[in-house]
Amino acid sequence: MLRYLPFLLVLALWIYSFIDCLNTPEEEVRKLPKAAWVIIILLFGEVLLGPVAWFAVGRPRAAADAYGRRGSAGAAGGGWVAPDDNPEFLRSLGKDRKPGADGDDRG
């Protein structure tokens, strides 16, 4: 079983890079048209040249956010932000609160 492991790893990388290329929007693909990358990945996948070239050159790079992490999560990417980090949520706390609404009679 162990002798099949390199073959399975190459096959997994080949399939992953092919699906990743297909799911990447056309305007985000770098250097070559998307169809050219698909052909390169399919033709040179067995020797790992196609998938490695896709990950090194063709795949879009994720922008780093304010904390140096990659990806689109956080305020910079428009993703989900924790309530205590969201200034809009913190501002809305004061607007929504009405005197006596929480059982407090201090009015």
Q: What token pair was written down for 77?
A: 């990417």
- pTM beyond 0.85, yes or no: no
pLDDT at 105: 54
Q: Which of 5-9, 40-44, 67-71 has the lowest mean pLDDT?
A: 67-71
pLDDT at 75: 45
Q: What token pair was written down for 102?
A: 């929480």
Mean pLDDT confidence for 15-22: 93
Q: Which residue has the higher pLDDT, 103 or 18?
A: 18
Mean pLDDT confidence for 20-33: 91
Helix axis angle, 34-43 to 5-23, nearest 10°: 170
pLDDT digits (tens, 9 = 90+) for 47-76: 889 999 998 988 887 754 444 454 544 445
Q: What token pair was written down for 74?
A: 């956080």
> Among the residues of the chain, which ranges form H helices?
5-23, 34-43, 49-53, 87-96
Q: Which of 5-19, 34-48, 69-83, 86-100 has the lowest mean pLDDT?
A: 69-83
Q: Provide the residue count of the chain.
A: 107
Mean pLDDT confidence for 29-55: 90
